Amino acid sequence: MSVNSQYASDLRELKTKQAHLLEEVGDQWRTPEDLFWGINAVFGPFDMDLFTDGDNAHCARYYTAEDNALTQDWTADLNGGKGFANPPYSRPCKDEDGNDMTGMITIMNKAKTERDQGAKLAFLIRGVPSETWWPELADHICFIKGRVGFKLPDWFIPANDKQKASSAGFAGAIAIFDKEWRGGPISYIHRDSLRAQGKKLLDMVEAAAEKKAATYITGTIETRPETAVQGEPIIAPQVSAQIDIEEQIAKVLAEPANSVWPIEVLKLVQKAFEEQPNKFNELRHRVLCEKVNKLRLDNVSDNDILSNLIAMLEKCEPMGVAA
């Protein structure tokens, strides 16, 4: 349901201006695509973008300022999926019904409440634990090494040559709200690692789109030749010769970021693969990390865990024989 608010009204007016100043962008700085997709690879996949201006959403489903995310039932709308948010940092404001629309303390409290009801959420936030809104009750905080820069919105029209985004950026972190989280409370990952993983996914999505378009065009020409323009080249799908894009995307999404797991987990998994190095692949690595983490939470000794892992690997075929 659309809500009335000065915040939403001001945003609509801002987007339609003929020229803009950097100071006007406010809450509407965009998460870079490769950074979002990197976070998606590590902590997703995401089903919904919780705070958007309607033009900068990263997911097919999203809330806008007119929806006022803070009045919505995230848990019900996610329905078991995961939500992403690059939240607004502006001063607290309310809609015309008196409901909060912004304010980081309110947003973090809302995230905790939804988490307790079963929602799984990932917030890209400023890495400043000294802030009063800092999510002490998040299930996991992943600090991003390297400063994070954000993009100007697509609708931004610079009023003059001075209206160029600074590349300085600021410290960032990813706050995870998920009561089923079984990793450690804190981890670290480099910004460039996230961007590299995101670039992989973006390349695959682009390839998948090209493949689908080529297949569609070829099918149209073959089944409805009357629609083809004279002299138009026929694009052969060559499906059998192409990489299975969907399978590759699933594989990348399955890749763990080592920084998500406690160092004790990673050391045990590494020792197991050192015993049988020809059994290593990324998916097995993730499975073993999950196994180790669960056994450690159950207070199983490290020696018993390592024996368990080696026994599991002994049943696997060496890489190159069967995956």
Average pLDDT over residues 254-264: 60
Gap between the Cα atoms of 72 and 111, Å rounded: 11
Gap between the Cα atoms of 141 and 150, Å rounded: 20
- 150-208 residue pLDDT tens: 888 888 888 888 888 775 678 999 999 999 998 889 999 999 999 999 998 888 888 87
Dihedral over alpha carbons 43, 45, 48, 50 (to 10 degrees): 10
Check pLDDT > 70 for residue 250. Answer: no
Contact 25, 12 (CB under 8 A): no
The pLDDT, as a whole number, for residue 37 is 94
The pLDDT, as a whole number, for residue 226 is 55
242 vs 272: which has the higher pLDDT: 272
172 forms beta bridges with 126, 144
Check pLDDT > 60 for residue 29. Answer: yes
pTM, two decimals, is 0.66
| 314 CA to centre of own chain | 35
Contact 272, 313 (CB under 8 A): yes
Contact partners, residue 78, CB within 8 Å, separation at least 6: 47, 48, 119, 120
Contact 125, 111 (CB under 8 A): no
Q: How many CB atoms lie within 10 A of CB 258?
A: 16
